[in-house]
Structure 1
Amino acid sequence: MTDYREARQMSQKVVVIFSGGMDSFTVLNKVVREHNDVYALSFNYGQRHSKELDYAAKVCNELGVHHKIIDISAINELIGGSSLTADIDVPEGHYEQESMKQTVVPNRNMILLSMAVGYAVSLQANKVYYGAHSGDHAIYPDCRPEFVHRMNDVCAIANYEAVEIACPYLNVSKIDILTDGLIMGLDYGKTWTCYNGREKACGKCGACQERLEAFEHNGVTDPLSYEE
């Protein structure tokens, strides 16, 4: 029998920032198993392609999850310099390489989290989930534990209602995220990770390399097709 605390948790509204990539895909599916009132939120922030958003829409439709795609691409008039939003070649190589800092979009997660928290308040939801993990810590300051902790401090006082920023995989790697997803029986052919939006994943950008590394360590084959 489900006890009162479990029933209360299941009834809570929550928001998930869902990019369409494998990390947020795993988070979304994990949250759907824990809560019965889930609202997914995706952003068009002027990224190089909309392919990941197409994947996100399909997944939410299959899961029967409330889903909004919000166009905030106008922010590129204020923040630039990233190869993910400007006409700059996406660097190839692992995330540990200095060149991968070209993929940092200034203040991106603070902007997205702020909007998601506002959405949560309007829904009377008490949590916002996003897929930060330890593999992002090296080059993405807004995925590090100290950033998440400070955002939680702010979100506790920014509105009349406190909203928690939840990162279930904050201190583990993409390898561990995939392991958890495989245990849940998830199909990662429904996700898009590559920074390039071509027909097939490039296999060379940092996002692809980290993804392929995760599949290799888990001893399974990535269901996505890659360029030769």
Structure 2
Amino acid sequence: MKKRLGLVLLSGGLDSTTVATMARREGYDLLALTIHYGQTHVREIDAAKEIAWLLQLRHRVVDVAFYQELAWYSALTQPERFALPADRSVAEMAQDIPITYVPLRNTFFLTLGAALLESEALHAIETEHTAPSDLEATIFIAANALDYSGYPDCRPEFYAAAVETLRLGSKLGTQYGVSFQVRTPIIDRTKADIVRLAVELGAPLHLTWSCY
């Protein structure tokens, strides 16, 4: 029987809570990672803690507030400098990436999640003597390409490329032949679809906190 290691990037919002509930129901040995990077709504982190506890997930919260200084050109990291966009037309949303985009945020998050998951996987192989062929390593991320944000790191092609990058850049992939899987189960769903799915799964929507 395969050892199914999973990691979910859990923000505390609707989308990531739905994905975490889905992964939990699928039977993964699931670890939740919440990242504090200087975003405006730290209430999300408290929500993530409550959700992880309710879903009985192992949970890590990491503070990478320094990232705010690096990815400073965003309304989410510098709200006093940049106003949140309002009344954007559908045409604008389709063409322009808004000021709420945080430079390379999902690339950074995916790398942090992969580092933690690879550590878990290497421990299973090298300490617990799990055969690499009996191991899965899956990252769940609640990216959504249909929310009209226009973020490039919420598109399917980004995650398809990330899988190969993680394989080539990891001991897990190059020495043991275990490829990271990156699952984006709500990437093509509308917000209404996500809410329906969350209700279907019994996700703890009452604990969620919207990102912005």
Question: TM-score normalized by structure 1?
Answer: 0.76
* Stretches of structure 2 lacking an aligned partner (at least 5 in a row): 122-135, 173-178
Is 119-128 or 102-111 further displaced after alignment?
119-128
1:116/1:128 contact within 8 Å kept: yes
SS at match of 1:67: strand
2:164 matches 1:153 = yes
- What is the distance in 2 between the residues matched to 1:120 and 1:167? 16
* Stretches of structure 1 lacking an aligned partner (at least 5 in a row): 1-6, 196-228
- C-alpha deviation, 1:194, in angstroms: 4.3
- C-alpha deviation, 1:94, in angstroms: 5.7
- C-alpha deviation, 1:95, in angstroms: 8.1
SS at match of 2:99: helix
2:26 matches 1:50 = no
- C-alpha deviation, 1:100, in angstroms: 6.9
Mark the CA change 1:71 to 1:123 in structure 2 (over 3 Å): closer, same or farther: same
Q: What does residue 81 of structure 1 align with?
A: 73
SS at match of 2:32: strand
2:181 matches 1:164 = yes
- Within the candidate set 175, 178, 187, 2:192 is matched to 175
- Within the candidate set 108, 111, 134, 1:114 is matched to 111
- Within the candidate set 55, 59, 72, 1:63 is matched to 55
Q: What does residue 17 of structure 1 align with?
A: 9
Q: Give CA-to-partner distance per residue, 1:126-151, whole Å, 9 cap, x none.
A: 11110012324651100001111111
- C-alpha deviation, 1:63, in angstroms: 1.6
Mark the CA change 1:21 to 1:92 in structure 2 (over 3 Å): closer, same or farther: same
- C-alpha deviation, 1:34, in angstroms: 0.7
1:14/1:37 contact within 8 Å kept: yes
* Greater relative CO (CA pairs within 8 A, separation 6+): 2
1:27/1:129 contact within 8 Å kept: yes
- What is the distance in 2 between the residues matched to 1:123 and 1:95? 44
Note the aligned Cα RMSD (angstroms): 1.9
One-letter identity of the residue aligned with 1:91: P
Count of aligned residue pairs for this structure pair: 187
Q: What does residue 143 of structure 2 align with?
A: 132
Q: What does residue 102 of structure 1 align with?
A: 99
- C-alpha deviation, 1:186, in angstroms: 2.7
2:86 matches 1:92 = yes
Identity %: 29
Q: What does residue 201 of structure 2 align with?
A: 184
- What is the distance in 1 between the residues matched to 2:62 and 2:88? 30
One-letter identity of the residue aligned with 1:144: R
1:13/1:35 contact within 8 Å kept: no
- What is the distance in 2 between the residues matched to 1:48 and 1:19? 13
- What is the distance in 2 between the residues matched to 1:194 and 1:160? 34
- C-alpha deviation, 1:42, in angstroms: 0.6
